Amino acid sequence: MLPRSMRKFALVLLLAACATSHSSSSSLTFRSLQSGQEARQHTAGTRAVAAADDATYRRLWDQLIGGNPALIDLSKESAIFLLGGEKPTGGHSVQVLRVTMEGDVANVWANVNEPPAGSINTQVITYPFTVIAIAKPGVTQSHWQQVR
């Protein structure tokens, strides 16, 4: 039988090991495809949409962003469209901090950044967005996780 102080220490180690084994999945590599202030689809709140095949990617690009889609190899990556919602001025941006997988769902940890204090910005409603490619093919579902 271990002394009482050693039993407490062993219990703490066991609990730490269990917590570590159930922690969230590791981060995926991602790269920015395009960002901007004027998403074609106007949403009130934040929204994340995934594309795993060429037809879906081109359709979503046309519906949500417009113009020529950025290049991506969907046999090696998936695309995530992040719409930052309606903002009262220019200067807002979508900043992706981390991407993890939970089952077949990509969790994108991102913020909509405000313009710097004292900056001069367009006084018009904007819809900031960013499109990223993640290093995981076949992803068809995504969720936006606010960091703040």
User: Whole-angstrom Cα distance, residue 111 to residue 119?
Assistant: 19
pLDDT reported for residue 25 = 66
pLDDT reported for residue 147 = 83
Give residues with Cβ within 8 angstroms of 33, minimum separation 6: 70, 72, 79, 131, 132, 133
Burial degree of 11 (CB within 10 A; 0-12, 13-18, 19+): exposed
pLDDT reported for residue 89 = 95
Question: Which of 47, 114, 110, 118 is closest to 83 using CA atoms?
Answer: 47
Residues in the chain predicted with pLDDT less than 50, given as ranges, are: 2, 4-24
User: Hey, where are the domains in the chain?
Assistant: 25-146
pTM for this model (two decimals): 0.81
pLDDT reported for residue 14 = 38
pLDDT per position as a tens digit, 49-69: 999 999 999 999 999 999 999
